[in-house]
Structure formats: C-alpha cells, structure tokens
C-alpha cells in the first residue's frame, strides 16, 4: 500500500477534528472528531465511505484521543497510507510566515506564542506531542492561521498605541483564517482564469467566526481580525469592532469587571446579542422573513459592517477582480450575499438573483451578472490546504 495520504489534525482544548486526505486526488478517506475530551463522556466519532461510527473514549484527554484515533485508523486499514501528519495551529505570531516541519525549535516558538492564543496554542502542542508519541516515525508539520497575513505592511498591522507595546509585547494585528484565504484565493483565481500574482481578490470568510481579507497579487495586504479573533466583523457570538472605552463605561455604569465584559463581547454579542435569539444565521434569517424587525436589523448590522470593510479593501487594492464568499454563511446564505452586494454597487457589482439563490451546500461559482464586477462563492477546504502544505514539507 502506498503512503499517499496525510492525517490532518485540528486540536482544540476539548475537541479534536481529524481527516485523512490524499492531497494529489483530494480524496478524503475518513473524517471525524473526538469531543467532550477531558470529561468522562469523551467520544470519538467518524465517517468513512458515508458510514458513521463512534466509540466511547472514557475519561480521555489529548493523549488517549490520539491513541484511540491510531487504533481506529489501524482497524480501518488506513494507517499504512499515512505519510505525514499536518496540524492546524492558530497563532504563529511574527515567527512564522509559512508552514513548518515540527522540530524542537518550532515547538519552542509555538510555546512562545501562547500569550497570544492562550486557549488554542497549548491544545495544539498537546496534539503535536501525542501525535509524535503514537505515530513514531511519521513527520509532523504545522500550518498557521496567522502566517498568510504576515505580508501586511506595518501601517496596516500597527495600532496607534504606544509603540513599545508592539516592540516589547507583540501587540499588533495578526489576523486569522489564513489557511482558508490561501485556499479560496487560489481557487477563485483558477476558476476565473486569473494569474493570482496579478490580481485583486477580496474574500469574506463568514462562519461562526467571521473575517475578511484583501489579497493583492496573491498576498494578504489587509484583514479584519486583529491581535485576537474578536476584532472586525460581527460574528455568531463575538461583537467585532467596538469602542475600547466600553470596558471603562460598563465598569463605571454597571460595575462590570474586565472578565465580565470580555465574556460578554466574546460569547454574548454578535448575531446572538443583537437578535436576542440565536447565534445561528439561519434562525435569524427565518425570523426576519417572518417580519421580525430586530432580526432584520441584526442582519443589516452584520452586512453594513462587512460592506464597509470590503469598500476599504477595494480602495486599498486599487482595483477589484473578485469578491469571494466562503464559510458556512458565505457558502449558504443568499440573503446575506445579496444584502452585501447591493451595498457595494458603487464598485460595479450586479447580482444575478437566480445564480445567487442556487449556490449553496458546497457549490462554487459566480453569482453576478455578465459585465458585473465578479462576486462568487468558493467552498473553503482548510484541511486540503493543510494536507498539501504537509506533503510539500515532508516529501
Ligand atoms: P462555519 O463556522 O463556517 O461552519 O459556519 C457555521 C455557520 O454557518 C452557522 O452558525 C450558520 O449560521 C451558518 N449557516 C449554515 N448554513 C446556512 C444557511 N443555509 N443560511 C444561513 N446561514 C447558514
């Protein structure tokens, strides 16, 4: 059996997503996740050839979850096909401008970035160490969400706060969703017959977490997320941009602690906070269609913020070859796409209503009329990008 596939691991603090992908054929032979890790009800779930399976893991942490995954891959006859392991890592700070093979120095550098991603990076490190233990002999690579945005200019990534905070503590904008942007930007250029190195593409990655990116000549020149993934667009439960004085205001007027406001901005805001209903865009769209005014207002705030950011990107790029929608909302919500495109008519976008309505559930394609500036949908595939990078690094 040839070693033609990559095991892709996305390790969080209480869950671990995995898939086995052949980067050459793009075939995914298995995918799944270990969830509720750290509790006594940890469980491994997977899907192979359309069939679902699950196995209780007991009181499993990262080590036991990866051991369980190894057993599963052996049982399914996939273990000998795995050539290398690719890990998603949320934060690579300024140290990583691209994906890297795991070495002791790389592990130390990911540890150095823990203050920038205190929930994510420690979990990634546990996943990497468990993979090294249970898959000895297989090379490991790391693919960073932040790396793609390291091409941003200082004038874009700096905040106008005392410069020492950047120099001594790394306070700057880093962005996220970089792996998705790299995949979607290249896929959009390929579909449109554009040379990515001579193109201006803006991408809106709209999922539970949402951000947008300006890709000029294949490089990220601006993005909406900042030091953390709270900045920028309205998200499922995150506020996006606010006046930072809100912390002081809520403390003085309502006695909110730093932690309380942080929790409110991350978990109780965004679509959920504004609508008072749900963080799921579908629930709010349904309510808006039934005439609920606050639900409609919530969608309008979401689209207003996004359209303003995209207009800024268009100005910064100097031209627009395409606006690309991706992520759960971007790939499925014709309502959000229509709302945003109509706000951007100054840039020459003319929506093709039927194409827009017919593009969902993993379908990619152009959703504007002939002669319009192109808006399109591209289904993202971060796992495939991680598999490709890992293969390139370990070949
Ligand atoms: P993601 O984080 O990329 O998996 O996206 C998840 C989000 O996509 C969900 O919270 C939903 O709000 C949104 N979503 C999925 N399907 C639809 C749909 N048909 N219409 C609107 N939003 C959707």
Confidence of residue 284 (pLDDT cuts 50, 70, 90): very high
Residues 288-328 pLDDT 10s: 999 999 999 999 999 999 999 999 999 999 999 999 999 99
On whether the CB atoms of residues 47 and 30 are closer than 8 A, the answer is yes
Nearest to 309, CA basis, from 389, 202, 208, 229: 202
276 φ, ψ (degrees, to nearest 5) = 70, 15
Residues 108-143 pLDDT 10s: 999 999 999 988 999 999 999 999 999 999 999 999
CB of 132 closer than 6 A to ligand 1? Answer: no
CB of 202 closer than 6 A to ligand 1? Answer: no
339: CB partners within 8 A, 6+ apart: 299, 300, 303
CB of 286 closer than 6 A to ligand 1? Answer: no
DSSP one-letter code for 307: H
Question: Is pLDDT above 80 for 261?
Answer: yes
Q: Label the pairing between strands 27-35 and 16-22.
A: antiparallel
How is residue 217 written in tokens?
A: 């000549």
Task: Give the residue ranges of the annotated binding site for Mg(2+).
Answer: 10, 382
CB of 327 closer than 6 A to ligand 1? Answer: yes
106: CB partners within 8 A, 6+ apart: 100, 142
Q: What is the pLDDT of residue 143?
A: 98
Pocket test for ligand 1, best of 183, 328, 332 (most atoms within 8 A of CB): 328
CATH classification of 195-382 is 3.30.420.40, yes or no?
A: yes
Question: Is pLDDT above 90 for 337?
Answer: yes
CA 30 to CA 21: how far, in whole Å? 8
Q: What is the pLDDT of residue 60?
A: 86
357 φ, ψ (degrees, to nearest 5) = -65, -25
H helices of 268-344, in order, are 270-275, 281-289, 293-317, 327-332, 334-343
Question: Is pLDDT above 80 for 1?
Answer: no
Residues 143-193 pLDDT 10s: 999 999 999 999 999 999 999 999 999 999 999 999 999 999 999 999 999
Task: Give the residue ranges of the annotated binding site for ATP.
Answer: 17, 205-209, 280-282, 328-332
CB of 229 closer than 6 A to ligand 1? Answer: no
The full length of the chain comes to 395
> Per residue, what are the HEC states of 366-380?
ECECCCCCEEEECCC
CATH number of 5-144: 3.30.420.40
Dihedral sign, CA of 88, 93, 98, 100? negative
Residues 74-116 pLDDT 10s: 999 999 999 999 999 999 999 999 999 999 999 999 999 999 9
68 alpha carbon – ligand 1 mean position (Å): 30
**Domain layout of the chain by residue ranges:** 5-144, 195-382
Residues 207-222 pLDDT 10s: 999 999 999 999 999 9
Q: What is the pLDDT of residue 59?
A: 87
Coil vs helix vs strand at 169:
helix
Catalytic option among 80, 145, 190, 243: 145
84 φ, ψ (degrees, to nearest 5) = -165, 170
Pocket test for ligand 1, best of 203, 327, 333 (most atoms within 8 A of CB): 333
Judge whether 5-144 and 195-382 match in fold: yes
Q: What is the pLDDT of residue 395?
A: 86
For atom 9 of ligand 1, the residue with the nearest CA is: 280
CA 209 to CA 78: how far, in whole Å? 32
How is residue 41 written in tokens?
A: 């009800």
CB of 236 closer than 6 A to ligand 1? Answer: yes
Confidence of residue 13 (pLDDT cuts 50, 70, 90): confident
Pocket test for ligand 1, best of 277, 329, 334, 357 (most atoms within 8 A of CB): 329
pTM attached to this predicted model: 0.96
CA 374 to CA 324: how far, in whole Å? 8
The closest-lying atom of ligand 1 relative to the alpha carbon of residue 205 is 3
Residues 236-259 pLDDT 10s: 999 999 999 999 999 999 999 999
């Amino acid at each position: 059996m040839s070693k033609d596939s990559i095991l892709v691991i996305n390790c969080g603090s209480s869950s671990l997503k995995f898939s086995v992908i052949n980067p050459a054929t793009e075939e995914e032979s298995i995918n799944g996740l270990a969830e509720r890790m750290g509790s006594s009800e940890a469980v491994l779930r997977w899907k192979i050839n359309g069939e679902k399976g699950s196995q209780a893991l007991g009181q499993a942490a990262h080590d036991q979850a990866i051991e369980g995954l190894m057993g599963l891959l052996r049982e399914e006859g996939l273990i000998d096909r795995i050539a290398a392991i690719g890990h998603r890592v949320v934060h690579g700070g300024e140290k990583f401008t691209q994906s890297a093979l795991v070495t002791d120095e790389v592990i130390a550098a990911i540890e150095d970035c823990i203050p920038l991603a205190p929930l994510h990076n420690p979990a990634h490190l546990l996943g990497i160490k468990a993979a090294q233990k249970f898959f000895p002999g297989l090379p490991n690579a790391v693919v960073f969400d932040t790396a793609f945005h390291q091409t941003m200019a200082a004038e874009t990534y700096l905040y106008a706060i005392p410069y020492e905070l950047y120099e001594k503590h790394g306070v700057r904008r880093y962005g996220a969703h970089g792996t998705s942007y790299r995949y979607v930007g290249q896929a959009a250029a390929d579909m449109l017959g554009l040379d990515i190195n001579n193109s201006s593409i803006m991408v809106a990655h709209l999922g539970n977490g949402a951000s947008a990116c300006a890709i000029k000549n294949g490089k990220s020149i601006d993005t909406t997320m900042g030091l953390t993934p709270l900045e920028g667009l309205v998200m499922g439960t995150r506020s996006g941009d606010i006046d930072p004085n809100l912390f002081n205001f809520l403390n003085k007027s309502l006695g909110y602690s730093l932690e309380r406001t942080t929790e409110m901005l991350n978990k109780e805001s965004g679509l959920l906070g504004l609508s008072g209903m749900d963080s799921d865009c579908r629930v709010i769209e349904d309510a808006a269609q039934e005439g609920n005014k606050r639900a409609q207002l919530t969608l309008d705030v979401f689209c207003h913020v996004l359209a303003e950011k995209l207009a800024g990107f268009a100005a910064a790029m100097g031209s627009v070859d395409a606006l690309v929608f991706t992520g759960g909302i971007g790939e499925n919500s014709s309502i959000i796409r229509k709302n945003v495109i109509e706000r951007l008519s100054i840039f020459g976008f003319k929506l093709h209503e039927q194409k827009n309505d017919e593009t969902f559930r993993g379908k990619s394609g152009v959703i504007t009329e002939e002669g319009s500036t192109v808006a399109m949908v591209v289904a993202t595939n971060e796992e495939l990008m991680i598999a490709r990078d890992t293969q390139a690094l370990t070949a």
